[in-house]
Structure 1
Amino acid sequence: MEGMLTINNVWMMICTALVFFMHLGFALLEIGLTRQKNTINILFKNLFIITTGLLLYCLVGFNLMYPGEFNGFFGFAGFGLDSPMLNGGLDLSYNEGYSYWTDFLFQGMFAATAATIVSGAVAERMKLQSFFIFVILYVGIVYPIAGSWKWGGGFLDELGFYDFAGSTLVHSVGGWAALVAIWLLGARIGKFRDGKIYAFPGHNMAYATAGVIILWLGWFGFNGGSVLSADPAATSLVLVTTCLAAAAGGISSFLFSTFLYKNYDITMFLNGILGGLVGITAGADVMSPLDAILIGLIAGGIIVGGVALIDRLRLDDPVGAVTVHLICGIWGTLAVGIFGSLAGWDQFLYQLIGIGSYAAICLVGSFLIFYPLKLSIGLRVSSREETDGLDIHEHGMEAYPDFGLKQP
């Protein structure tokens, strides 16, 4: 037993490292798809999310999300982490697949991801201190309570709602908050004017592409680790379905956007890959390879339509976070009731109930955080700060300073 626990635990630690690596992918994607003058601001937010998210998850989040015996809606096992030691050694009775410490760290990486989704959506115009307060409250309280409803053995888990690795529990939880944020913030200056929509090209497509490839790699840990063991059959299937959905999503988005807009848009290609990954995450372990391809193909089409829809609603999402994480997260969650071994009308209904439940807590929770901030310290930087760039005004430096000798 100890030998298998060691093997399983090592796999889970590798997956934890891969999910941690995803934060670099998010950072590169966000700075690549936005303007140069806000690069440091975005990197600063991503560092804050990781550091603060882990500390909050240690102090309160882990025990909010996994409270043990509770009423199915809210429970709290206490502050901090309990020692998993027994008679001077590691308590092997905690879980047959991995240790207590590994469980905390793996789940803590997921918690930080939800806030990272919001970071990209509010890029280039949100006050840093307001974003900090949002992260503390959303990651520290809203995310773990919502997570307990399924992964903590709450009422949705008892109902039969299924979300293997977080199409809803992670991606839609971040996506709903992103939607509320961009609605309350408003669009960047010049995005919508004279009845037209103007694109703000990202300053570095190489960074954006590298970010997506890193995220794809990190999804091996995100989904592969959600097997919660190193079981060869289960992990192999999950990695195959994950990769096939990503590939199908990219191809589908590229073809749809080329047909509609008559150009080869790399940003659509990149977001199509991410849409496929988000779409397969809810049911990666119960889908066949063909199911995964179909889910990815539909997700790719959703990306193209979703980006256009967000623009038509006059909502400004610089990186497409709402489309990728919310809309494709909803699609992937519903897909569990349509494709794979769980497909059926009952399961489809359970998935709908789960989506509605998470929409409720996330919309209300994020609004109760953002709206008081808007009325008090404000959400948005001044017009001058936005025009000049947040790097200069909030950080006093540039991401790409000119080191050449300046002529007098």
Structure 2
Amino acid sequence: MKKWRWGLALAAAGLTMPTAAFADDPSVTDAIRAVDAVWVILAAVLVFFMQAGFALLEAGVTRMKNAGHIAGKNVLSFAIATLVFWAAGFAFSFGDGTSWIGTHGFFLDTSDDSIGNLFSSLSFTDVPMGAKFLFQAVFAGVSLAIMWGGIAERAKLIVYFVFGTLFIGLIYPVIAHWVWGGGWLASLGMQDFAGSTVVHLQGGTAALVGAMLLGPRIGKYNKDGTSNLIPGHNTVYAVLGVIILWFGWFGFNAGSTFMAKGTFFPYVAMTTNLAAAAGAVAALLTCWLVLKKPDIGYMLNGVLAALVAITASCAYVKPWAAVVIGAIAGCFMVFSVLFFDRVAKVDDPVGAFSVHGVAGIWGTLSTGFFAAPDLVEKLGVGKPGLFYGGGFTQLGVQALGLVASFAFVFAASFLVLYAIKKLVGLRISREEEIIGLDVSEHGASGYPEQLPHGGAYLKAR
């Protein structure tokens, strides 16, 4: 056998040998730490790429005259989230402090080797602090991105600056600290592995408040209260957006393991994928049964609702339970969208609260039903679910966490948005809304060729 073949054989043999045999070898420990760090950074990049998914999805399901604005605000939103989370949000979320809020680690400087001493809640993983911060920052950015869907096509640009800053700096970190930062819900054993409550319920709840305070888009409801469909301008964009979000979710959930070693992160990726697939099929069939048409938009939202739901439970449940959780989330989403559109008369253009709020609630509760004893023991958080003989204890903790989180985020978001409404206004004028945000806010169109005279009149403005 040639020398290079012997080399490959020896390398393969080395990879198959138990890591524990080299546990005392500093070089092996450093290598494991480095691989874990690379995995966390890669997962963070996948989550960051979800911003592209939000841009395509939201632009696709809204009208052409607002497409550039809606896609572009994802860049602005993530930029604001990154800066504010670095300055204050990360410290409030994960810094050592009280059971209610963190009080250390502001204006994070990861070049200081002692900085990790201020973040006991993140000491479960040995990856560098910079990787921890980046991963949590992109999570906060996703939560803020969710909010904008509920106020699409009618909000002033200034709202993104003011509410985005206060949401990432003061609202999001409170729930993050309660659940993930060593707060009071963490001490009770609340199970939210990757953020059905921390990320998605928060963003969805803020979107609901925003939609309620802004009111419906012009032409959405008739005088008799009946609802009109305002179709999006590009279904293909929406499909591509959901595929990107599905792709990015592997970083979202599997990345939350914070380790590449072993079999755990592939398991989380598997349950995530199973749930998403079940949500797509269940939502399409439910829509077909209820509305008599297999609507593509509902199928897309079914994927996202299922992904939101499995985000809390992906590490705690068996594969069969992941399928059930995803399917139920897809069904719930259809009825929730119809309820808010036709009964509650809340104009949520992308179904943000139904997809991220309602599905987030179900996903958080689902561990109280389906959390498997062996997985709970492995993770060391909370207790097994009701269907495994665990009683109602874990379900009660999950419900308490949901009620407290929803109440805080709803009240805080309402106060902030109401203050903005009174001080500078939330909504653009009727004329600006009719023209579209691309032109009225930015003086340019995402599709200039579709405008009169190829958009030449814009040059004279």
Fold shared, TM-score > 0.5 on shorter chain: yes
Q: Equivalents in 1 of 2:161, 2:197: separation in Å?
A: 23
- Offset of residue 406 of structure 1: 5.3
Q: Structure 1 pair 245/259, CA: closer, same or farther in 2 (3 Å)?
A: same
Q: Counterpart of 2:82?
A: 54
Q: Which moved more, 1:340-349 or 1:264-273?
A: 340-349
User: Pick from 313, 320, 336: which aligns with 2:367?
Assistant: 336
- Greater Cα offset, 369-378 or 238-247: 369-378
Is the radius of gyration larger for structure 1 or structure 2?
2
Quick check: 126-135 or 314-323, which moved more? 126-135
Q: Is the 8 A contact 1:333 1:351 kept in 2?
A: yes
Q: Partner residue of 1:11? A: 39
* 1:366 equivalent among 400, 408, 413: 413
1:327 aligns with 2:374: no
The letter of the residue matching 1:386 is E
Distance 1:147 1:76 in 2: 13
SS at match of 1:338: helix
3-state SS in 2 of match to 1:222: helix
Deviations along 1:355-386, whole A, 9 cap, x unmatched? 01101210111011100111121111111111
Task: State the TM-score, normalizing by the size of structure 2.
Answer: 0.85
CA distance in 1, matches of 2:95, 2:168: 16
2:360 maps to a residue whose letter is G
Q: In 2, Cα distance between the equivalents of 1:313 and 1:94? A: 45
Asked if the contact 2:317–2:370 (Cα under 8 Å) also holds between the matched residues in 1, the reply is yes
The residue aligned with 2:214 is 185
Runs of 4+ aligned structure 1 residues displaced above 6 Å come to: none
Q: Is contact 1:97–1:229 with CA below 8 Å preserved after alignment?
A: no
Contact 2:125 2:258 in 1 (8 A): no
Matches within 5 A, 1:182-261: 182-193=211-222, 194-261=224-291
Aligned mates of 1:284, 1:211 — CA distance in 2? 22
1:95 deviates by 6.1
Q: Which residue of 1 aligns with 2:427?
A: 380
TM-superposition CA deviations, 1:310-350 (whole Å, max 9, x none): 11200001111110000000000000101131213100000
Q: Is 1:316 aligned to 2:344, yes or no?
A: no
Supply the AA of the counterpart residue of 2:385.
A
Following TM superposition, by how much is the alpha carbon of 1:146 offset from its aligned partner in structure 2, in angstroms? Answer: 1.7
Find the counterpart in structure 2 of residue 83 from structure 1.
Answer: 110
- Given that 2:80 and 2:161 are in contact with CA atoms closer than 8 Å, whether structure 1 keeps it comes out as no
Letter in 1 for 2:78: I
Query: Displacement, 1:405?
Result: 11
**1:67–1:77 contact (8 Å) kept in structure 2:** yes
Partner of 1:173 in structure 2? 202
- 2:399 and 2:355 map into 1 onto residues whose CA distance is 19
Cα 1:272–1:403 shift into 2, 3 Å: closer
Q: Distance in 1 between matches of 2:361 and 2:123?
A: 33
Quick check: which one's helix share is greater? Answer: 2
Residue type of the partner of 2:417?
Answer: F
1:72 pairs, out of 78, 99, 113, with 99
Deviation of the 1:31 alpha carbon: 0.2
Amino acid at match of 1:48: L
Name the aligned partner's letter for residue 295 of structure 2. Answer: D
1:22 and 2:50 equivalent? yes
Alignment of 1:59-138 (within 5 A): 59-68=87-96, 70-86=97-113, 96-138=125-167
CA distance, structure 2, for counterparts of residue 158 and residue 400 of structure 1: 52
Match of 1:44 in 2: 72
CA distance in 2: counterparts of 1:85 and 1:403, whole angstroms: 54
Instruction: Give the aligned partner of residue 397 of structure 1.
Output: 444
Check conservation: 1:49, 1:116, Cα contact below 8 A. Answer: yes
TM-score by length of 1: 0.95
Task: Determine if contact 1:84/1:100 at 8 Å carries over to the other structure.
Answer: no
Contact 2:90/2:105 (CA < 8 Å) preserved in 1?
Answer: no
Q: Offset at 1:111?
A: 0.6
The offset of 1:83, in angstroms, is 3.2
| CA displacement, residues 183-217 of structure 1 (integer Å, 9 cap, x when unaligned) | 11100011111331101111000100000000000
Distance of 1:125 and 1:185 partners within structure 2? 8
Residue ranges of structure 2 left out of the alignment (5+ in a row): 1-28, 115-121, 373-383, 387-391, 457-461
Q: 1:315 to 1:403 in 2, by over 3 A?
A: closer
**Which of 296, 309, 323 is 1:279 aligned to?**
309
Deviations 1:79-128 (A, max 9, x none): 211334559xxxxx966441100000000000111110111110001111
Q: Give the 3-state SS of the residue equivalent to 1:230 in structure 2.
A: coil
Q: What amino acid sits opposite 1:72 in the alignment?
A: S
Is 2:341 the partner of 1:299?
A: no
Q: Deviations over 1:243-295 (max 9, x none)?
A: 00000001000000001111120000000000110010001001111000000
1:346 and 2:406 aligned: no
Residue type matched to 1:74 in 2?
Answer: I
Q: Which structure's relative contact order is higher, taking Cα pairs within 8 Å and 6+ residues apart?
A: 1
CA contact (8 A) 2:55 2:72 kept: no
Q: Secondary structure at the match of 1:113?
A: helix
- Find the aligned partners of 2:450 and 2:232 in 1 and give their Cα distance: 23
- Output the CA distance in 2 between the equivalents of 1:150 and 1:232: 26
Q: Deviations over 1:133-161 (max 9, x none)?
A: 10010011111122101110000000111
What percent identity do the matched residue pairs reach? Answer: 43
Determine the C-alpha separation between the residues in 2 that align with 1:373 and 1:117: 19
Cross-structure match for 1:163: 192
